[in-house]
Every structure is written in structure tokens, then in C-alpha cells.
Amino acid sequence: MSMFSGKEPHDIDPEQAKGLIKAWRADKASNGKAHGHFFGREAIEKLLAQEGCVGIRMYHARRDKGHETLVLVAADTDGRDMWKGSVAEEAWPCPPYCDPDAR
């Protein structure tokens, strides 16, 4: 039996989501860390278009000089990472690349 179908529920009320983000930012352990990361549509679609992909796994990662980032890799129905395909990093961190309305 497969672990994932690609139809797992992830919906959340936007106000609840904003509350979760606000709580993380208020935590002293998050000081100095990126609030989020931006990936363009093309990078995400490239991952999802891989044969056998049912979703994307996001890994916390650290670049040179300690800068935090995310690594995105496609995952199959068995929950296996698809490292032989397209993998994305080069996230645009927030700050400075933040939603101007979310201050």
C-alpha cells in the first residue's frame, strides 16, 4: 500500500495560518532566522511534472556562512525522495523578499 496519494488534505483557514506564522515569529528562537522562502511557479511545476511525483518534500538546509534555506525534492507514492530528477533550492528569503503587506 502506498504512503501518499497526492490528495492529502492541507487546507487551513487563512486567519489560523497567519496566527501560526505570528506565533513562530514571536518565538525568541526564531530571531534572526528567515521568516519564509519564495520559490517561483516554474521551479515547483518542474518538480511536480516528474513521472511518479505525487508531492514535494521540503527540507530545512543551511548554506555557507550559516544562511538558512529550503531544499525541495519531489516525492513518490511510497514517500521516497526523487533525487535523480529535478531538485530546487535557491530560495529567495524573507526578509528581504517579503510580502509588502505582511509586516
Answer left, alpha or beta for residue 69, where phi above 0 means left and psi between -120 and 50 means alpha.
Answer: beta
Report pLDDT digits (tens) over 23-80.
Answer: 888 887 777 788 889 999 999 999 999 999 999 999 999 888 778 889 999 999 999 9
Task: Give dist(CA 48, CA 56) in Å, integer.
Answer: 7
Report pLDDT digits (tens) over 79-88.
Answer: 999 999 999 9
Task: Give dist(CA 26, CA 91) in Å, integer.
Answer: 23
pLDDT category at 103 given cuts 50, 70, 90 is low
Report pLDDT digits (tens) over 60-69.
Answer: 998 887 788 8
- Per-residue pLDDT at 81: 97
